[in-house]
Amino acid sequence: MDALEPFYPSRQNGGVQPRPANILGQRYTYLGDRLTADHLKNQPCTAILRHNGSKYICIRGSGKMLVQFDSGERHAVLAYLLRKTKD
Q: How many domains does the chain have?
A: 1
DSSP 14: S
Whether residue 26 has pLDDT greater than 80: yes
Task: Return the bridge partners of 79, or none.
Answer: none
Domain containing residue 53: CATH number: 2.30.30
Global confidence as pTM:
0.69
Task: Tell whether 4 is covered by a domain.
Answer: no
Task: Please say if the pLDDT value at position 2 is more than 90.
Answer: no
pLDDT tier at 64 (50, 70, 90 boundaries)? very high
Q: CA–CA separation, 33 vs 62, rounded Å?
A: 18
Question: Rounded CA gap, 1 and 28, in Å?
Answer: 33
Q: Structural domain of residue 65, as residue ranges? A: 20-84
The whole-angstrom separation of Cα 24 and Cα 46 is 6
Q: Looking at per-residue confidence, does 84 or 55 come out higher?
A: 84
Amino acid at residue number 12? Q
